[in-house]
Homo-oligomer: A and B are copies of this chain.
Amino acid sequence: MADGSTNDTITQPSSKLEQAIRVDLAEGRLAVDRRLPPERELAERYVTTRITLREALSHLEMDGLIYRENRRGWFVSDRRLVYNPLWRTDFQRMTREQNRQASTELIEAVSAIAPEAICALLEQPVGTEFWRIRRRRRVDGRLVVFVEHHLNKTVFSDILEQDLTGSLTNLYREKYALEYGDVSFEINPISLTGMPATELRCSDGTFGLQIVRVNRDQSGLILDCDVEYWRHDAVSIRIDTRDGPG
């Protein structure tokens, strides 16, 4: 589709500095191995101050051209991953189909009382315990999403004994003979703070996309809920009713 490019007829660039960086980036004069030089060096190169430079970099960051890792530096963004939250294909397969390389890291898998909002979503009384699984995923090496799953403990009594770095979708099907049914989700543009920011190694307040999803099985039973925090420039949501619910 339109691929999120902002070089439309109706969108225009802004400052000269920003434009200069944009050109240098496009022609590959700036980044070495997808990494930009330090801010101090860039400020010197463009004969400006760090503050002004950082303004420009922030704009390019919001535009999705570059991103930063907290106190580590600036990097060039790759193309967005196309994501359909209605499809329940596992992450590995989804990325493979787009010729990308995915990996998943398990952060924790524990039993915990879910926050009120989560209990409500899962239609359980406030204070109910769920399995809480926190993971983060990379695409082509880059950290792109932090996910927090809350699973029904009754349905998945022994899930902690499984390999949780793989696809939960596959586990559901293979170990518990569950197929997905209805899905509901919510997408909110938010700023990443706290654990999502830490885990994604982005500085506090970086822009992101929160996707809250509630999954049911064929009979309508609520299986789990996952809250995803995406780096904003790493994803493009795409849905087509002709595809069916997948």
Contacts and interface: CB of A to CB of B under 8 A. Distances in A.
Determine how many copies of this chain the complex contains. Answer: 2
A17 interface: no
A138 interface: no
A209 B64 CA distance: 12
A186 B237 contact: yes
A233 interface: yes
Main secondary structure of the interface of A (DSSP, over half): mixed
Nearest to A240: B184
A142 interface: no
Contact of A195 (B10, B193, B239): B10
A187 B2 CA distance: 10
A125 interface: no
A144 interface: no
A62 B188 contact: no
Contacts of A4: 186, 188, 190, 210
Interface in A43-84: 51, 58-59, 62-64, 80
A154 interface: no
Interface of A: 1-6, 8-14, 51, 58-59, 62-64, 80, 85-86, 115, 117-118, 121, 148, 182-191, 193-196, 204-205, 207, 209-210, 212, 227, 232-233, 235-242, 245
8 contacts: A10-B194, A11-B196, A51-B51, A64-B190, A86-B241, A182-B240, A184-B238, A184-B242
